[in-house]
Amino acid sequence: MSVELKVPPVGESITEVALGEWLKGEGEFVHRDEPVVVVESDKVNLEVPAPISGRIVRVRKRRGETAKIGETIAELEPADPPAAVSAGAAGAGPVMPSAARVLGEAGLPASAAAGTGPGGRVTKADAQRAVEARKGAPATQPAPAPAAEALLPPAGARDEEAVPMSPLRQTVARRLLEAQQNAALLTTFNEIDMSAVLALRAAHRDGYEERYGVKLGFMSFFVKAAVDALIAFPAVNAEIRGTTVVYRHYADIGIAIGGGRGLVVPILRNAESLSFADIEKQIADFGRRAKEGKLKLEELTGGTFSITNGGIYGSLLSTPIVNPPQSGILGMHAIQDRPIAVAGQVVIRPMMYVALTYDHRLVDGREAVGFLKRVKECIENPVRMLLEV
């Protein structure tokens, strides 16, 4: 008797998900609790485990299709683990994992592909040929060429591929557009001499990692500096709700992270009470789980202020967009050696441009400039943050 694999609840108010990558295909054996497929919501991606140990006999939803919470997306039949890797057609060798995924996403059994790899293994190319053949397209033999006199000069490849926008990307697009339309956004800039932070990190790098089990990065300094500036300029940490302004006496800092499936912004709760090591550990954990698609929904909601670091991608300067209903976001950028004037002398220093985008409905220009100046002072004299002065 078959057992249904259903879409599990992924968060409050979420009623529909999109099917992501099938980690197992039709005909493959899976162990109980082994991930079978990734489902994507507008907040978080989730791996759906197998409810039993058995073989997938039917995939009802393909990658990119949508499904309701509780809807059946595949069927499994109880079975004992195979003695060897899943076999392909009679007499063929084992099916490689990449080939199994291609066949599974197309709804084809492993026996649909003939193996041409070493030992008769079914390779990804074999699986792709089987999928093309099922569609009616020739996989190996091209159509006869037209007469030579009818040939036109080649114009180069003009292939296109239409891919459904993931729920996460749809949400990012919608929220960024809302921010532009519903807030009076303005950006102010400053530059920071990173010499003191670089020297501090170099002096304590080995001892810090040995003691805390995590590297001392730049982000913890900027989180601490942002908290300091938010206390000094509370409007940047506030939110407009209708005709009222809500001032927060805590700082939940969102850290923009490029995950495996798009940008996510997990939240450092009560960042004002976290140590440098606490911040670095949480950010490292967020980054690791973002790549694996394992961040929890509650870790991505809320936040009073955000920080994004385009410098890790080489950005020298940008204007970040506020994440509504927040009123401000701090943009970090690449560190670059530049000549600056110090005490009447031209010297070369490692400099970083920083940007604060803010909602001008709530934050005045004086407050925005003061906020960035405070961040600059903290980073250029990091001892003040350690002494909390």
The CATH code of domain 3-135 reads 2.40.50.100
Q: What is the pLDDT, as a whole number, of residue 90?
A: 43
* The pair of three-digit structure tokens given for residue 281, joined into one six-digit string: 């550990």
Indicate which residues carry an active-site annotation: 360, 364
Q: Assign residue 119 a region: left if phi > 0, alpha if psi is -120 to 50, beta otherwise?
A: left
CATH 3.30.559.10 positions along the chain are 172-387
Q: What is the pLDDT, as a whole number, of residue 116?
A: 78
CATH 2.40.50.100 positions along the chain are 3-135
Q: What is the pLDDT, as a whole number, of residue 87?
A: 45
- Mean pLDDT, consecutive 10-residue stretches, the chain (389 aa), reads 89 80 89 89 82 93 89 92 55 66 76 74 81 66 52 70 76 80 94 96 89 92 97 97 95 88 87 95 93 84 94 94 94 96 95 97 96 97 73
Q: What is the pLDDT, as a whole number, of residue 277?
A: 94
Q: Domain 172-387's class? A: alpha beta
Q: What is the pLDDT, as a whole number, of residue 85?
A: 45
What residues contact residue 358 under an 8 Å CB cut-off, 6+ apart? 185, 186, 187, 188, 236, 322, 327, 328, 329, 368, 371
* CA atoms of 189 and 330, how far apart (whole Å): 10
Other beta carbons within 10 Å of 80: 9
Q: What is the pLDDT, as a whole number, of residue 300?
A: 87
Q: What is the pLDDT, as a whole number, of residue 101?
A: 74
* CA atoms of 353 and 359, how far apart (whole Å): 20
Quote the pTM value: 0.67
